[in-house]
């Protein structure tokens, strides 16, 4: 068993045993004091009867007190010298109208010492041995209770260790490359929370690895396209004598270079967002103001699209204002590409979440392809070129930024017939 759980088990057992032992000691002292007082109540009448006898003052400690007393007593009686002043007793105080000393003797029996008036002797009354019996039943009960508690604690600790070992095993499997390994979240706290956090981390890692694999294949293809056009244009310049034809080829090379530069910048931007290389200037963002500015800009662009906005004024989130602007600017650009006549932006609050929906009246996105649109270089329509479909990085950037801000983005069917991109973000604290 893991040493942590062994130490925990031993600590619990030692704490219980220590606490129980301390309680027993305190209770024993209290009970012993009560036993002595009970014994004094029972033996004091014997002392009082003997002290009334005149012959008691003539006896010596060596005399047989029981033979002279001629009274029945269940206790052992003896005449002794008065205790020395520095002798310590468990019980040393007044009892009724006389002073009494009481304690246990070497045999574990209670004995009380009653000083005799006008004498240098005292009467010692000792508890009868036959009255003291070992209570093995009580000891057996105590042993049974301790054993039962120990077994229960061991079972609980063993179960906790089992939960920890299951998490460790899943962690090892994931570390060895089994990216589909996930922890069982139906475990008691705090293991359930640890499992949920592990699964969330595993999902993020798997998504990042998948995106990297997709990007590693897609980047080579995307970069090769403008490079091939540049190479083709350069080949075409050979043997061209007409300056107009050369100018057209140089213009094509320049456009391909700009396209290549734009593509590289997009790739670097997405990489910085995914791997945290960008410097976030987090602060409170008034989403209604940000959306109003973007919608106002969209309304001034040429075309017959109608862009509307419905907001709640107190929708404030915590994040990077530049990246938030990227999110909704990309969503508006995406809606503009596929909308027929209108784009509707709606902002509202549900509990502690801010929601922003961007609707269009285009052809929509099939349900089985909705998750794919957030993958880098994803284009749902293979017939579309970059003038209509772009590089397929805009929505990937949206998904990465929203995840980094603790939110999510989903695609639904719009009431206008097209697609609805719905962003969820945590509402910033009011203080």
Inform me whether the pLDDT recorded for 13 exceeds 70: yes
pLDDT of residue 347: 93
First to last CA, the chain: 47
* pLDDT, tens only, 49-58: 888 887 777 7
Mean pLDDT, to the nearest integer, of 74-85?
84
Beta strands 342-350; 408-413: pairing state: unpaired
Helix axes 3-51, 136-175, angle to 10 degrees: 170
Give me the phi and psi of 222, to 5 degrees please: -65, -35
The stretch 85-97 carries a mean pLDDT of 80
Band the pLDDT of 279: cuts 50, 70, 90. very low
pLDDT of residue 419: 92
**What predicted TM-score, i.e. pTM, was given to this entire model?**
0.52
- Binning pLDDT at 50, 70 and 90, where does residue 426 land? very high
Task: Give the span between the Cα atoms of 394 and 331, in whole angstroms.
Answer: 8
Query: Is the Cβ–Cβ distance between 360 and 419 less than 8 Å?
Result: yes
CA distance 431 to 182: 38
pLDDT the model gives residue 382: 47
pLDDT(331) > 90 = yes
pLDDT at 384 over 70: no
CATH number among 3.40.50.880, 3.30.420.40, 3.30.565.10, 3.40.30.10, domain 280-431? 3.30.565.10
Q: What is the pLDDT of residue 215?
A: 65
What integer pLDDT is reported at residue 101 of this predicted model?
Answer: 84
Q: Which residues of 258-297 are buried (b: 16+ CB within 10 A; e: fewer)?
A: ebbeebeebbebbbebbeeebeeeeeebbbbebbeebbee
pLDDT greater than 60 at residue 371: yes
Compute the distance between CA of residue 347 and CA of residue 108 in angstroms, rounded to an integer.
Answer: 85
392 against 364, higher pLDDT: 364
The whole-number pLDDT of residue 261 equals 78
Spell out the residues 6+ positions from residue 68 whose beta carbon is closer than 8 angstroms to its own: 55, 56, 59
pLDDT band at 102 (very low <50, low <70, confident <90, very high): confident
Q: How confident is the model at residue 220 (pLDDT cuts 50, 70, 90)?
A: low
Pull the structure tokens for residue 303.
């075309």
Provide the pLDDT for residue 274. Answer: 66
Half-sphere exposure of 281 (CA within 13 A, CB side): 3
Kindly indicate the confidence band of residue 332, based on its pLDDT and cuts at 50, 70 and 90.
very high
**Where are the chain's structural domains?**
3-133, 280-431
The helix/strand/coil state of 168 is helix
114 close to 91: Cβ distance less than 8 angstroms: no
Alpha carbon distances (Å) from 178 to 171, 172, 200:
10, 9, 15
More confident residue, 26 or 110: 110
* Averaged pLDDT for residues 295-302: 85
Ordered DSSP codes for 184-252: ---S-TTHHHHHHHHHHHHHHHHHHHHHHHHHHHHHHHHHHHHHHHHHHHHHHHTT---HHHHHHHHHH
Total residues found in the chain within this entry: 431
> Does residue 23 register a pLDDT over 60?
yes
Closest to 6 (Cα-Cα) out of 188, 154, 164: 154
Q: Is the pLDDT at 197 greater than 80, yes or no?
A: yes
Highest mean pLDDT: which range of 105-109, 148-152, 333-337, 380-384: 333-337
* DSSP secondary structure letters along 264-302: HHHHHHHHHHHHT-S---EEEEEHHHHHHHHHHHHHTSS
Strands (E), 116-169: 121-126
In order of 3, 202, 208, the CA distances from 172 in angstroms are 19, 12, 19
Residues 129-153: pLDDT tens digits? 754 445 566 667 777 777 787 788 7
Average pLDDT, whole number, for the chain?
79
Per-residue confidence (pLDDT) for residue 10, from 0 to 100 = 73
Q: How far apart are CA 29 and CA 36, in angstroms?
A: 11
- Between 56-60, 276-280, 332-336, the lowest mean confidence (pLDDT) is in 276-280
Task: Find out whether the peptide bond into 190 is cis, omega within 30 degrees of 0.
Answer: yes
The pLDDT of residue 1 is 46
Q: Are strands 282-286 and 316-320 parallel, antiparallel or unpaired?
A: antiparallel
Residues 193, 163: Cα–Cα separation, whole Å: 12
The model's confidence at residue 180, banded by pLDDT at 50, 70 and 90, is: confident
Residue 387 pLDDT more than 60? no
Tell which wins on pLDDT, 399 or 304: 399
* Mean pLDDT of the 62-86 span: 78
Q: According to the model, what pLDDT value does residue 214 have?
A: 66
Q: Give the pLDDT confidence score for residue 137 in this predicted structure.
A: 67
Can you name the residues that pair with 316 across neighbouring β-strands? 286
Smallest CA-to-CA distance from 404 within 104, 204, 225, 151 is with: 204
Range 371-397 average pLDDT:
65
Q: Of all residues in the chain, what percent carry a pLDDT higher than 90? A: 10
- Identify whether the C-beta of residue 202 lies closer than 8 Å to the C-beta of residue 179: yes
In this structure, what token pair is assigned to residue 313?
């004024």
> Lowest-confidence range among 61-70, 202-211, 307-316, 342-351?
61-70
Q: Within a 10 A sphere around the Cβ of 155, how many other Cβ atoms?
A: 10
What is the reported pLDDT for 62?
79
Contacts made by residues 102-108, CB under 8 angstroms, sequence distance 24+: 102/36, 102/39, 102/40, 108/132
């Amino acid at each position: 068993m893991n040493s942590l759980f062994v130490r925990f088990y031993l600590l619990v057992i030692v704490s219980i045993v220590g606490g129980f032992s301390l309680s027993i000691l305190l209770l024993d002292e209290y009970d012993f004091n009560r036993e002595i007082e009970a014994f004094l109540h029972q033996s004091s009448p014997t002392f009082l009867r003997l002290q009334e006898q005149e012959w008691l003052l003539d006896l010596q400690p060596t005399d047989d007190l029981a033979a002279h007393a001629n009274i029945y007593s269940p206790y052992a009686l003896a005449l002794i010298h008065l205790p020395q002043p520095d002798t310590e007793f468990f019980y040393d105080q007044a009892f009724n109208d006389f002073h009494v000393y009481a304690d246990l003797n070497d045999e574990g029996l209670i004995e009380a010492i009653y000083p005799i008036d006008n004498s240098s002797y005292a009467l010692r009354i000792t508890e009868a041995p036959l009255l003291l019996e070992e209570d093995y039943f009580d000891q057996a009960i105590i042993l049974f209770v301790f054993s039962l508690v120990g077994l229960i604690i061991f079972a609980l600790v063993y179960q906790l260790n089992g939960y920890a070992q299951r998490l460790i095993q899943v962690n090892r499997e994931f570390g060895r490359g089994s990216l589909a390994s996930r922890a069982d979240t139906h475990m008691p706290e705090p293991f359930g929370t640890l499992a949920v956090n592990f699964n969330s981390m595993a999902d993020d890692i798997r998504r990042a690895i998948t995106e990297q694999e997709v990007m590693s294949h897609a980047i080579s293809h995307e970069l090769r396209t403008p490079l091939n056009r540049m190479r083709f244009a350069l080949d075409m310049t050979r043997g061209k004598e007409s300056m107009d034809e050369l100018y057209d080829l140089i213009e094509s090379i320049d456009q391909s270079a700009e396209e290549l530069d734009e593509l590289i910048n997009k790739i670097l931007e997405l990489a910085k967002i995914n791997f945290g290389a960008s410097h976030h200037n987090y602060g409170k963002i008034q989403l209604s103001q940000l959306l109003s500015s973007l919608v106002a800009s969209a309304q001034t662009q040429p075309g017959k699209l109608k862009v509307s906005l419905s907001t709640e004024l107190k929708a404030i989130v915590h994040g990077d204002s530049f990246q938030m602007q990227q999110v909704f600017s990309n969503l508006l650009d995406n809606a503009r590409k596929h909308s027929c006549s209108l784009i509707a932006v709606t902002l509202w609050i549900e509990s502690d979440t801010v929601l922003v929906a961007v609707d269009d009246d285009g052809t929509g996105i099939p349900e089985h392809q909705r998750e794919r649109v957030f993958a880098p270089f994803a284009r749902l329509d293979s017939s579309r070129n970059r003038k209509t479909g772009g590089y397929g990085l805009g929505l990937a950037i949206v998904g990465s930024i929203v995840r980094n801000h603790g939110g999510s983005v989903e695609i639904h069917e719009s009431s206008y017939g097209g697609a609805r991109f719905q962003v969820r973000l945590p509402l910033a604290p009011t203080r």
